[in-house]
Chains A and B, each alone.
Chain A
C-alpha cells in the first residue's frame, strides 16, 4: 500500500483517498469542521489546511507577503507557502505533509478559528452542544488567543424551527454545510440549502417545505457546533454529566450501533447517538431508531404482579411462588413457551432451555409486526433479534399458531417472554385470556395484559445482551442503566422459575450462558466484532 508522511508519521492510503481520510483511518486527527468521512468534501471551513512540502529540487507554490518584523519595526517581504485543504487533496506516494509541525499551518488554524468565532454569540452556558463542541475543542487546541474584535457582532435569526424535530440557530452556525450535504447525499431529500454570503450566510429550508422525514436527527448529529438542536434533547441535559454505553438500537432488525447516553445520578437515558460501524450503519441512524432510547422508561413493568384483573403488586419471590402453583400440576405438553424477537439471545436461550427442561414441544415466537422500510437503514422487521430467535429455535411456530392453539384449547398454560405481539394488542390479549399466562416482560403489551403472573424484566438498556441483526451479525449491547424497580434480567427470572418447578438449572451467571451458547453449535452466524470497526477520531 502506498504511504505518505504526516508530521513524520507514515500513513498508508488507498489510491484516490484524500489526505484527511487516510489520516482519519490511521487514527490521526487533522482538525476539521466541514469534512465528514461519510459525506463529500466541500473544503469550505479551511480548518484542515496543511502544508505539503515541495519535492527536493523543486519550488513549491508560494505567496509573496509582507510580514511585520519587530526588530526593524517595519514590514518586510517574505514568502509563505500556499496551504492546501487536506480534505480535498488526494494523497500521493511519498508526500511530506506538515500539520502541527508547521508554523504556517498553526497560524492558519488559529486564524480560521478566530474568523469562525468572530460573530459567535456568548452562548456556551445555554447551548446544548457545549461540552462536545468542536469550536470549544479547537479553540483550546489551536486557538488560545483572546478576542481582538471590539465591534458588535452580526446578529442573525435564533431558534428557527426547521421542522417537527429540529431547531436552528444561525448565529452559532459555522456554515460547514454538513447538514445540507447529509440531506442531499444520504437522506436523498435535498431540502436544506444556504442563502446570502459572508457574514449573512445562513442555512434555510426549501420554500414551502420543512425539514422532515426519517433522517432529520442526523442533521443535528453531523452539526459540529450547536447550530442545529433536536427538540427531543434540547435543554434536557448537560452532556458532561452524561455517561455513555455501547448499545444496539432496538428499532428494527438492522441493529444500528449506538451510544446510549444516560445520567447515572437519575438512572435515566437521555439520547441515542450513532456509533460508527462500517458493516452495519456506517455513521448514521434513523429518527425512529434514535428515539427508541425512550423505551428504557416508557410503558415499563418494574414490579411483579399477580392476578388477571386485580394485578396486585407483589415481590418477585411471591410471584414466582404463584407461577409455581399455576404450573406445577399441569401436563408438560400443554405448556407453551413463547420466545420474543425483541429480547436478547441470552434471554431467549434461557427460555429455549426451559422448554427443553420442561419437555414441551410447544415453542412459539412473538414480536412486533413489520412496518415502514427504506433502502438506507430502516428494515421491514421491527424486531432487533428475529434472526437470533430463529437460530436458537428453528422449530418455533409463529405467534398466530399460538392463538389458534389457545382457541382450540391445545394449549392451556403459557410462559411468555416479552409483551408485544404481531397482531392487534386488544384482540391478541383477549384470545390469550383463555389460557393461564406467566409473562416475563420489560414492557406492557398484549401478553402482559392478561397475565396471571407478571415478572418484571430489565430492558435492553439495563443488562448486557447479544442481538443478531438481519445480516446475521451477532452484536453486543452493554449495560447502561441500573435495573429499575424490582426488575431483573429475563434469564434470571427463567432460571428462578425453572428452579421453582423443580428443574435442574446449571447456569447462574450470564458468563455461563454465553459459554454454553458458544458450545451449542446451532448458530450458522459468524461472530462479528460488536464494537466500532472503523477508527473513530474524537467524534467526527
Chain B
C-alpha cells in the first residue's frame, strides 16, 4: 500500500526526487529544496495520497556534508492510513542559505514546528507568518541543535553566582564540573575540514 505512495510521488515529480528508500518500512523521499512546498502541496491535495496530518518536522545537522542541514518532515493520512517521510537538504558547510519554503499555509500545524526547527537548528522558513524563537528565549544566541554548538555551553540570563558573591567555596561552578556534560561514547564530531584555520 504505502510503497505505492513513493511510486506515485516518483512518477509525478521525477526530476525533483533525489533518492528514495524504505528502510525499516519507513517510506522516505529526499526532494530538492526548491520543490519542497510544491511537493508538500501535492501530497496534501492529491485525493489518493491525502496526507492531512503534519506529524512532525525536524532537522538534522551533518557537518562535513554539503548541503549540511537535512530538514525532515513526517506526514500521515488519517483517511488512507499511510505515512511518508520527506526530506530535503539545504545550507552549505557554514550553513549559509539554510532556508526552505514554509508549508504553514498547507498545514496550520506546521506553524509551531517550523518555529521550533528555526529555533533549534537555524533553518529559515520563507513565508512563515511569525518566525521567531519558541523554546529558547529571544536573547539566546546560536542554535543549540547544530552539532557545532557546544553541549556544555550555557547562556544564563542571570549571571551565575561566583564564590566571592556566595562568600564560601561552591561545590559546583559553571558549567558545573568537569565530569558533567560530556559524552564518552563518541570519540569526536567530524569537523567540516580539519585544520582549515577556522578554529583560530
Q: Interface on A for B, CB 8 Å cutoff?
A: 240-241, 243-244, 246, 264-266, 463-464, 476-479, 489, 492, 509-511, 513-514, 530
How many Å from the CB of B45 to the closest CB on chain A? 47
Q: Is the CB of A511 within 8 A of B188?
A: no
Collect the chain A residues with CB atoms within 8 Å of residue B188's CB.
Answer: 243-244
Q: Cβ of A266 and Cβ of B187 under 8 Å apart?
A: no
Whether A479 contacts B179 in the complex (CB less than 8 A), given A243-B187, A243-B188, comes out as no
- Chain B: residues with Cβ within 8 Å of the partner, total of 14
Q: Which residue of A lies closest to B178 (CB)?
A: A265
- Report which of A240, A265, A511, A530 forms a contact with B196, defined as CB distance below 8 A: A511
Determine if A509 and B178 form an interchain contact, defined as CB atoms under 8 angstroms apart.
no
Chain A residues whose C-beta falls within 8 Å of the C-beta of B195 in the assembled complex: 246, 464, 476-479, 530
Does B137 interact with chain A (Cβ within 8 Å)?
Answer: no
B187 and A479 contacting across the interface, CB-CB below 8 Å: no
Question: Does B165 touch A at the CB level, under 8 Å?
Answer: no
Give A264 to B187 CA distance when docked, in angstroms: 11
Q: Which residues of B contact A479 (CB under 8 A)?
A: 195, 199-200
Q: Which residue of B lies closest to A511 (CB)?
A: B197
Contacts of B187 in A (CB 8 A): 243-244
Do A464 and B184 form a contact, CB below 8 Å, given A265-B178, A265-B179, A478-B194? no
Q: Does B170 sit within 8 A of A, measured CB to CB? A: no
Counting CB contacts under 8 A, is B198 at the interface?
yes
Contact with A along B113-129 (1 / 0, CB 8 A): 00000000000000000
- Least CB distance, B180 to chain A, in whole angstroms: 9
Q: Using A244-B187, A265-B179, A478-B194 as known contacts, list a sample of 8 further A-B pairs with CB atoms less than 8 Å apart, ordered by residue number in A.
A: A240-B184, A265-B178, A265-B182, A476-B195, A479-B195, A489-B200, A509-B197, A514-B197
Say how far A258's CB is from chain B's closest CB, in angstroms.
14
Question: Is the beta-carbon distance between A510 and B200 smaller than 8 angstroms?
Answer: yes
Who on chain A is nearest to B150 by CB? A264
Q: State which residues 156-195 of B face A: CB under 8 Å.
A: 178-179, 182, 184-185, 187-188, 194-195
In the assembly, what is the distance between CA of A246 and CA of B188, in Å? Answer: 12
User: How far apart sit A246 and B184, CA to CA, in the bound complex (Å)?
Assistant: 19
The residue of chain B having its C-beta at the shortest distance from the C-beta of A265 within the complex is B178
Given A241-B184, A246-B194, A478-B194, A464-B179 contact (CB < 8 Å): no
User: Looking at chain A's contact residues, is the secondary structure mostly helix, strand, loop, or mixed?
Assistant: mixed
Cα of A193 to Cα of B179 in the assembled complex, Å:
42
B-side contacts of A513, CB under 8 Å: 197
Q: Is the CB of B182 within 8 A of A464?
A: no
Q: Given the complex, which residues of B lie within 8 Å of A492, measured CB to CB?
A: 200
| Chain B positions within 8 Å of A511 at CB level | 196-198
CB-CB under 8 A from B179, the residues of chain A are: 265
Tell me how far the C-beta of B177 lies from the nearest C-beta in chain A, rounded to whole angstroms: 9
Contact status B199-A464, CB under 8 Å: yes
* Sample (13) of A-B pairs whose CB atoms are under 8 Å apart: A240-B185, A241-B182, A264-B182, A265-B178, A464-B199, A464-B200, A477-B195, A479-B200, A509-B197, A509-B200, A511-B197, A511-B198, A513-B197
Nearest-Cβ distance from residue A178 to partner chain B, whole angstroms: 24
- Most chain A CB inside 10 Å of its own CB: which residue of B178, B194, B197, B200: B200
Across the interface, do B178 and A266 meet the contact criterion of CB distance under 8 Å?
yes
Q: CA separation between A121 and B178, bound complex, in Å?
A: 32
Nearest first, the 7 closest Cβ-Cβ pairs linking A and B are A510-B197, A265-B178, A464-B195, A511-B197, A240-B184, A478-B195, A243-B188
Closest partner residue, chain B, to A346 (CB atom): B197
User: Are A464 and B197 touching (Cβ within 8 A)?
Assistant: yes
From B200, which residue of chain A is reached at the shortest CB distance?
A510
The residue of chain A having its C-beta at the shortest distance from the C-beta of B177 within the complex is A265
**A492 to B, closest residue via Cβ:** B200
Cα-based distance from A477 to B199 in the complex (angstroms): 13
Report B-chain residues with C-beta under 8 Å of the C-beta of A240: 184-185
Q: Tell me the smallest distance from the CB of B100 to a CB of chain A, in Å.
A: 29
What residues of A have a CB within 8 angstroms of the CB of B185 in the complex?
A: 240
Residues in A neighbouring B199, C-beta threshold 8 A: 463-464, 479
Taken together as a complex, chains A and B put the C-alpha atoms of A479 and B178 apart, in Å, by 21
Which residues of chain A have C-beta atoms less than 8 A from B198's C-beta?
511
- Bound CA–CA A476/B198 (angstroms): 14
Q: In angstroms, how far is the closest chain A Cβ from the Cβ of B21?
A: 23
What A residues does B200 contact at CB under 8 A?
A: 463-464, 479, 489, 492, 509-510
A163–B187 Cα gap in the complex (Å)?
A: 32
Closest B-chain residue to A240, C-beta based?
B184
- Chain A residues within an 8 Å CB radius of B178: 265-266
